[in-house]
Structure 1
């Protein structure tokens, strides 16, 4: 454990180490889909009908400590980081029953070193509306095996992963996740999975 502010190189090594651990997990990472190009909202519906399953009442409500692996929580705490839980936001829209967590050293000097993870249940009609709003604001849509990715335009992203993706939402069947970068999505352990 280091004292003082976390250096960007140390953070990069930590994040790459965590991504390496994630690559060894049993959860497959989303396949890259090649170069992205901005697309206009399509006239056809983006998501499936409202019959998408909702999380059951038996599912435990997620916390910042359960939304990612125990080993990642321990590693982040080892750097002196803590989590701040917030409402799950898509743009300015709060998605009910969702959770968004920002991990950083909130006691240290102000810095842009942080990680963001989030999950929320969402019905198909709401997912379609949220995706359309993001695309209208310049976000980029990609379809993949795991669902629909909506990624910030890299020209305006706060952080980029090694593939050039910034903040990304992944819309699946009855849920949506978010991470500071597209690669960060593989670290989320969905409560409905």
Structure 2
């Protein structure tokens, strides 16, 4: 049996917990992550609403995504490997990038999430560098999405998006697919 088929029950559990969480909250519902990003059903681009409040504490791998998602990953035996937040040649020292997966084996079956504060100059420079390297840029009401060329992507969501950055006003988010950006919840809403 393939790892994808073994993780299907876990993905179903993640979807069910997200649906239940959405029923008990007045906030917009969120899509739960699947273990294999290519298994995510097609849907419109996620609504990403930046918070006007200042972050409380420093972002961590457990706090930039919903607590329930981090707990679900942990229940699968996954842990997070924290890395510097990088966009091309730019490293954002105050940011965080997390690679969730089974750290005991070599695998490309991981989920990646990141968040960093970024000023307007670095944001423009990073976007230019990515686009010059073949990445695609799309401006929406949520911000500017810059996603890897789908011809290079190891995994894509149902809409064909692989690794994607979302640039907002003073921040940038990262996920292994555009649909997974909805899980990056930093800074926390007060």
Q: TM-score under structure 2 normalisation?
A: 0.77
Match of residue 122, structure 2, among 122, 126, 134: 126
Q: Which residue of 2 aligns with 1:60?
A: 57
In the alignment, structure 1 segments of 5+ residues that lack a partner are: 34-53
Q: Distance in 1 between matches of 2:137 and 2:29?
A: 21
Larger Rg: 1
List aligned pairs for 1:37-48, cutoff 5 A: none
* Cα deviation, residue 17, structure 1: 5.4
Shift of 1:59: 2.8
Contact 2:45/2:178 (CA < 8 Å) preserved in 1? no
Residue 119 of structure 1: how far off its partner (Å): 0.1
Q: 2:45 maps to what in 1?
A: 32
SS at match of 1:96: strand
CA distance in 1, matches of 2:93, 2:53: 13
| Cα separation, 2, equivalents of 1:124 and 1:55 | 19
Equivalent-residue separation in structure 1 for 2:83 and 2:53 (angstroms): 20
For the 8 Å contact 1:19–1:187, the answer to whether it is kept is no
Corresponding residue for residue 8 of structure 1: 4
Q: Secondary structure at the match of 2:150?
A: coil
Residue aligned with 1:166, SS: coil
Q: Please list, as runs of the form range in 1=range in 2, the aligned pairs for 1:1-193 lying within 5 A after superposition.
A: 7-11=3-7, 14-15=10-11, 18=14, 21=18, 24=22, 26-27=27-28, 31-32=44-45, 56=54, 59-107=56-104, 109-191=105-187, 193=189
| Mean Cα deviation higher: 125-134 or 5-14 | 5-14
| Aligned equivalent of 2:49 | none
Gaps of 5+ in 2: 31-42, 47-51
Whether the 8 Å CA contact 2:45–2:179 is kept in 1: the answer is no
Distance in 2 (CA, whole Å) between partners of 1:142 and 1:16 is: 31
Cα gap change, 1:170/1:18 in structure 2, threshold over 3 Å: closer, same or farther? farther
**Deviation of 1:140 (Å):** 0.2
Q: What is the aligned residue count?
A: 168
1:110 shift after superposition? 1.5
